[in-house]
Amino acid sequence: MADNDGSSAAEKLTFLLIGAGIGSVLALLFAPKSGRELRGDIADVTRRGLDAASEGAQTVGSKASELYGTGRERVSEAYGAAREKVAQGAEAVSDLAGRRKDQLAAAIEAGKQAYYEEKRKAGEIGRAAVEGEDA
């Protein structure tokens, strides 16, 4: 009896209510009453069915509204958290890029200094060589 043929509880409840409605109508149709009484009974059952359907629709509507609000809240929170993480990541990348830029600028400046120093030394050596030939 534990077999589940894929029917959900909602489907089973729906079939139960449909069967109850059909049974009620058949009971009214085969009841020994006059036409006027029967029509009145059918109208009463129909009104009760409509009232129950209206209440069910209101319940479903309020539940859907509640779920929508909860879902919207959660999405908003997730969006805020993601936005904060992205901002933190962007700030970290910006800081790292700034440090790398400073390091690169320092390396370029050191390279320039080394170049000028070697150029100066080469100039002195060249002058010394020229002066040595003149002597």
123 within some domain: yes
Residue 1 is assigned to a structural domain of this protein? no
Stated pTM of the model: 0.40
Radius of gyration of the chain (CA): 44
Average pLDDT of the chain, as a whole number:
82
d(CA 73, CA 80): 10
- If one counts the domains in the chain, the total is 1
pLDDT for the residue numbered 6:
58
pLDDT at position 7 over 80: no
**81 in a structural domain:** yes
Give the Cβ contact number of residue 40 at 10 Å.
13
Band of the pLDDT at 60, cuts 50, 70, 90? confident
Over residues 38-54, the mean pLDDT reads 84
91 or 35, which is more confident = 91
The answer to whether position 4 is within a domain reads no
Using pLDDT thresholds of 50, 70 and 90, give the confidence band for residue 1.
very low
pLDDT of the residue at 5: 58
Is 41 among the domain residues?
A: yes
Give residue 123's domain range.
9-134
Q: Which letter does DSSP use for residue 3 in this model?
A: -
Least confident of 45-59, 73-87, 92-106, 115-129: 115-129
63: in domain: yes
CB 43 within 8 A of CB 25: no
CB half-sphere exposure, 5, CA atoms < 13 A: 3
- Give the pLDDT of residue 130: 61
**3 located within any domain:** no
